[in-house]
């Protein structure tokens, strides 16, 4: 997810930077290779360790990460059409995107229902265990909503195009309302119970995911609607892109500052590297594409600057997470089993983070 976001967010920037598109395509190719490796590993895990794989679904700390599989498929698939086509050709990129978008959307919709169901029925969760990780399964349909419009123009004109576009709008609403239901729980837990455990502090950036992705989605709806939905609804999408996107991006910047302050505090108290550092990547990438969409629809230089600044943060965060992850894999520290049972609250275990977040 995070690696693909570097490529797709860079391609969406409203400014031209020499050599950036080639670099973005190379990073996307890396994300495709990582996805293939991780999917193979996941299949082998289910085949040879099915009891452990099922146990993850019944683990309140691990279950929400199943939403990452959907977003990984969608992010790499979307990158195929936005940047990968320059190397693979449009036909191959379209075929890859169609397969990954379909699979990612189905997995995301299942996760959006199944994971909250398991949390409500099977998991036993204390209020202090509330974390932004809970957003992962319900944000997945928002990623489909943001990336689906790119496929609309490749469908036959008429019913097929309008159906896909409005299906994306429906997934936008599904994910948005679920996010709005969870955000008060997350903020309330922080205010009442205090800061998250150090290893989980980076997950505060996950809140940026639905904010940036929804802003990206409404911008994509506005770009795609003319000629697909009848008037006056086509122009209504353009109005909605601004009336929704501008205030939501404002809240995203507020949360960015809030989360960054918490991370600085955690770093001063000894926060070391954990796989949760990948939370700094994909959510920030969605804010880059959201700011780029606003720049496209407003022609304001302020949004150009914001998109470039956020992209610089994204690249820096990705490089830090990637280097530490590679170092941990080479040394074996990331693959080693925990020496003892994790301390309460359970979600503090860094290794529960899904590899798909990379």
Q: Give the model confidence (pLDDT) of 116-146 as tens digits.
A: 999 888 888 888 889 999 999 999 999 999 9
The sign of the dihedral angle between the CA atoms of 91, 95, 96, 97 is positive
- DSSP secondary structure letters along 214-237: HHHHHHHHHHH-BTTB-TTHHHHH
pLDDT in tens, 1-54: 999 999 999 999 999 888 999 999 999 999 999 999 999 998 998 888 888 888
Please tell me whether the overall predicted TM-score, pTM, comes out greater than 0.85 for this model: yes
State the CATH number of the domain containing residue 296: 1.50.10.150
> Confidence band (pLDDT; 50, 70, 90) for 358?
low
User: Region 182-200: what's the mean pLDDT?
Assistant: 93
- How confident is the model at residue 344, as a pLDDT? 47
Domain, as residue range, for 203: 2-357
> Confidence band (pLDDT; 50, 70, 90) for 338?
low
Per DSSP, helices labelled H in 269-281 are none
Measured CA to CA, the distance from residue 82 to residue 90 in angstroms comes to 10
344: left (phi over 0), alpha (psi -120 to 50) or beta: beta
pLDDT in tens, 155-174: 999 999 999 999 999 999 99
Q: Closest by alpha carbon to 11, among 140, 147, 129? A: 147
Residue 355 has pLDDT above 80, yes or no: no
User: Which residues have C-beta within 8 Å of that of residue 274, sequence separation ≥ 6?
Assistant: 199, 202, 350, 351, 353
User: Which residues have C-beta within 8 Å of that of residue 343, sequence separation ≥ 6?
Assistant: none
pLDDT in tens, 286-325: 999 999 999 999 999 999 999 999 999 999 999 999 999 9
pLDDT in tens, 218-241: 999 999 999 999 988 989 999 999
- How confident is the model at residue 352, as a pLDDT? 44
Q: Mean of the per-residue pLDDT values for the chain?
A: 91
Per the listing, tokens 């990379």 go with: 358
Q: What is the number of structural domains in the chain? A: 1
């Amino acid at each position: 997810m995070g690696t693909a976001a570097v490529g797709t967010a860079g391609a969406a920037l409203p400014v031209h930077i020499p050599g950036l598109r080639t670099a973005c395509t190379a990073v996307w190719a890396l994300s495709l290779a990582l996805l293939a490796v991780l999917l193979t590993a996941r299949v082998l895990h289910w085949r040879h360790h099915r009891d452990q794989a099922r146990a993850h679904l019944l683990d309140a700390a691990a279950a929400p990460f199943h939403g990452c599989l959907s977003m990984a498929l969608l992010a790499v698939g979307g990158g195929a059409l936005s940047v990968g086509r320059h190397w693979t050709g449009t036909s191959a990129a379209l075929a890859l995107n169609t397969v990954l978008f379909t699979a990612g959307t189905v997995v995301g919709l299942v996760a959006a229902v199944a994971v909250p169901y398991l949390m409500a029925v099977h998991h036993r969760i204390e209020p202090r265990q509330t974390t932004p990780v809970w957003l992962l399964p319900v944000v997945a349909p928002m990623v489909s909503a943001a990336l689906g419009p790119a496929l609309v123009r490749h469908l036959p004109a008429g019913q097929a195009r309008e159906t896909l576009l409005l299906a994306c709008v429906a997934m936008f609403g599904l994910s948005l309302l679920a996010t709005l239901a969870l955000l008060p729980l997350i903020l309330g837990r922080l205010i009442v119970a205090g800061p998250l455990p150090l290893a989980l502090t980076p997950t505060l950036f996950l809140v940026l995911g639905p904010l940036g992705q929804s802003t990206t989605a409404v911008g994509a709806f506005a770009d795609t609607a003319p000629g697909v939905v009848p008037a006056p609804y086509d122009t209504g999408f353009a109005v909605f892109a601004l009336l929704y996107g501008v205030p939501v991006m404002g809240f995203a910047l507020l949360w960015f500052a809030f989360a960054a302050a918490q991370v600085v505090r955690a770093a001063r108290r000894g926060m070391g590297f954990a796989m949760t550092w990948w939370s700094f990547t994909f959510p920030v990438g969605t804010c880059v594409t959201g700011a780029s969409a606003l720049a496209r629809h407003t022609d304001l230089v302020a949004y150009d600057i914001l998109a470039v600044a956020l992209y610089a943060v994204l690249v820096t965060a990705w490089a830090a997470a990637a280097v530490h992850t590679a170092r941990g894999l080479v040394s074996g520290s990331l693959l080693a089993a925990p020496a003892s049972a994790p301390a309460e609250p359970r979600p503090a275990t860094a290794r529960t983070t899904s590899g798909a977040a990379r």
